[in-house]
Each structure stands twice: as structure tokens, then as C-alpha cells.
A and B are shown apart, each in its own frame.
Chain A
Amino acid sequence: MTVELLSALATILLALSLAVERAVTIAKGLWPWLAIETVTSGGETDLVRDRWRRLAVQATAILCGWITAGFLVQPQRGDTPQLTWNLLGFVQVGSGSGAFTLPVLIVGVLASGGSALWSNVVGYTKAVKDAKNAEKASTNLSYITQAQAAGVAPPVKVSFDRRTLRALDEVKSTPPNAFASEA
């Protein structure tokens, strides 16, 4: 998977998960028991008794993600953009030859993960980009080495401290005119 496709997938999931979070917030407004955690006498979340509420929230998120992802299905025929909604369709990720499709349900389930999912996806994207940058830097270094080997590269420049730079400047200020020159 290329960086562009991974970025496209991250963008879709980011947008969808924001929509899902909004929908879940609305659902919690409609059914307040979804928003009220069951707590112990110590004020901490009661993980056993709160299990069904959390499952209901997750199911709501998946349902919202599925319904919302249905709007991302592209029309099968014609180039005219139009609003379509298909819960059993496919969502196209990316464009061009490397593009692929994912079932709407899968996209909905992925988006229901909320920030936990897309922050990971963003992390993976960044890691892939870093790897690409490292590869580019390595290629550039290889070109420089090849150019140096061919004798066509500019002088090698390294960062020096101020005192060394001053000494180099002094030496360079009077380049030798002849190989036998003493100065």
C-alpha cells in the first residue's frame, strides 16, 4: 500500500469517525442511560455492571459508522456526482491504478473505533512517510557518493566550529598558484 493510499484511507476514517462520534453523542442525548456510567460506591466505573451500557455504545457506534459509510459509496454508472446510499456497497480508497475498495460494513466498523483507530492510522502513515524520507536521503547520499567517485561533485562541506572555520578561511584566502608554491 502506497503512502498516498494510506493517507486516503486515513482521511476517510478520520472524517467518518468524527461523524460517528457526533451521531453517538446525539444517541446519548436521545437515550440518556447510554451516557450514564454505572459506578461503584468508591466512585469508579463498575466494569462488570457497566458492561452492557458500553456494549450498547459500541454497537451504536458501529451502526452509525455503517450507516454513515453507506453515503461514501460511489454511483455505479455515469460520471455525474449524485448522493447515493448503499449499506452493502463498496467504498473506493484512493484513485488511479493502486486504488482499492472496502465493504461499507468494514469501513463503518473501522470508523467506529474513533480516535483510537485513526490516531494509529495517522501514526502508521507518519512512519511510512519517515521511511520514504529516509530512503530518499539514502538515495541522495548515494548520488553524491557516485558524483564524488566520478570527480564531478562539489567540495565536501562539513559543519565546523567557528575557530576551525576561521582557520579554513585563512588557508583558503591565498590558494596556491602552483603545485610547487610554498605559501
Chain B
Amino acid sequence: MQVSTLKATRDGGVITVGISLPTSPHSAAAVIWRFSADGKREAEVGELTSLVPPVPIGDAVTNNSKKFYVRGKVLNENDNPPVPFQLLVTVGQGGKALLIEAPTEKEDSRIGSKDVRFIYRFVVEVAS
């Protein structure tokens, strides 16, 4: 299980999360949940798709030490044979991207006639 760390700043603005597929025409949808520092699920904080801009999840101070769990699907387009795709999760603050990463936890790196599930986790740390 890989967990990324977002190094946010206290006055850096609102934290946003988005997903994108820059190299393929597929779309993706995901849900993001917030967990407390000790790993308890607190709330669902947003719905993401690759077709809409990143969604805000709160400021850095409020989210300090909080953990975020993004789970979603890349939607298939009935490709035969399956084609490679690149999914990126972008986590930013104040409109500036701080993390742009491909989820390592996904069912497959190619997509055919079945949706591909993925998971991405990160934790927010506010620099003191």
C-alpha cells in the first residue's frame, strides 16, 4: 500500500483533487473519502471525474494529518485489443499542482471491454 504525502502550507489556499487521462480518450470517475489521522473514515468529500476540474476538499489547516482515499474506475470504451492508458491524480493547493501521480494500485494498465478500478491514497501534512 503506497501513501503519498502532500506537503501543504498553512496559507497556501484550498486543497484540490482531480483526475485526468492525458493520453487517451477514456474517462474516469472516482469518489474521495476523508479519514482521520488514526485511520477512521470521517466523510465522503467529493466526486471526481476526468471531465470536470479538480474539486476542493478544504484548507490545509483543517485537513492537517487527515488521510484521503480516492477510489474509482477508468470507464471502458470496448477496445479490442485492450489499449494502454495513463491515469493521473493531481493534488494541489491554491490552484498549484503539488502532486501529480499515477495510482500504483490499479487492476490493469491496459483497458479493453471492462472498467479498470484504481485506488490512490494520500495524507496532508502542513509545514510548520
A residues adjacent to B (C-beta < 8 A) = 145, 148-151, 155-158, 160, 163-164, 167-168, 170-172, 175-180, 182
Q: B59–A160 contact, CB under 8 A?
A: no
Q: When the two chains form their complex, are residues A168 and B58 in contact, meaning their CB atoms are under 8 A apart?
A: no
- Given A156-B55, A160-B29, are A149 and B73 also a contact pair (CB < 8 Å)? no
B73: which of A148, A151, A170, A179 is its contact (CB, 8 Å)?
A170
Cβ-defined contact, B29 with A168, below 8 A: yes
Q: B29 to nearest A CB, angstroms?
A: 4
Instruction: Please give me the 10 A-B residue pairs with the lowest Cβ-Cβ distance, nearest first.
Output: A151-B58, A151-B62, A167-B29, A156-B55, A179-B39, A179-B35, A156-B46, A148-B56, A149-B59, A164-B29
> Beyond A148-B56, A151-B59, A156-B55, is A177–B41 a contact (Cβ under 8 Å)?
yes
Interface residues of B, Cβ cutoff 8 Å to A: 1, 14, 27, 29-31, 33, 35, 39, 41, 43-47, 49, 51-52, 55-59, 62-63, 67, 69, 71-73, 75, 105, 115, 119, 121
- Contact in complex: B39, A178 (CB < 8 Å): yes
Q: Which of B43, B67, B71 contacts A171 (CB 8 A)?
A: B71
B95 → A minimal CB distance (Å): 12
Q: How far is the CA of A123 from the CA of B36 in the complex (A)?
A: 54
- In the complex, what distance in Å separates the CA atom of A153 from the CA atom of B8? 20
B46 & A180 in contact (Cβ 8 Å cutoff): no
Cβ of A168 and Cβ of B56 under 8 Å apart?
Answer: no
Q: Tell me whether B58 and A175 are in contact (CB under 8 A).
A: no
A151-B63 in contact (CB<8A): yes
Contact B62 A150 (CB under 8 A): yes
* B96 CB, nearest partner CB in chain A, Å: 16
Are A176 and B41 within 8 A (Cβ)? yes
Q: Which residues of A contact B56 (CB under 8 A)?
A: 145, 148-149, 156
Q: Is the CB of B73 within 8 A of A167?
A: yes
- Given A151-B58, A175-B41, A180-B39, A168–B27 Cβ distance below 8 Å? no
* Docked complex Cα distance between A179 and B66 (Å): 11
- Output the least CB separation between A181 and chain B (Å): 8
**Which B residues lie within 8 Å of A177 (CB)?**
41
Residue of B29, B47, B52, B63 touching A155 (CB-CB under 8 A) = B47
Residues of B within 8 A of A168 (CB): 29-31, 47
- Closest beta carbon of chain B to A170's beta carbon, Å: 7
Contact A145 B31 (CB under 8 A): no
B63 proximity list for chain A (CB < 8 A): 151
Partner of B47, one of A145, A157, A175: A157
In the complex, chain A residues whose CB is within 8 Å of the CB of B27: 164
From A145, A151, A176, A182, give the contact of B33 (CB < 8 A).
A176
Q: Complex: how many Å from CA A149 to CA B58?
A: 4
Say whether B121 contacts A179, CB under 8 Å.
yes
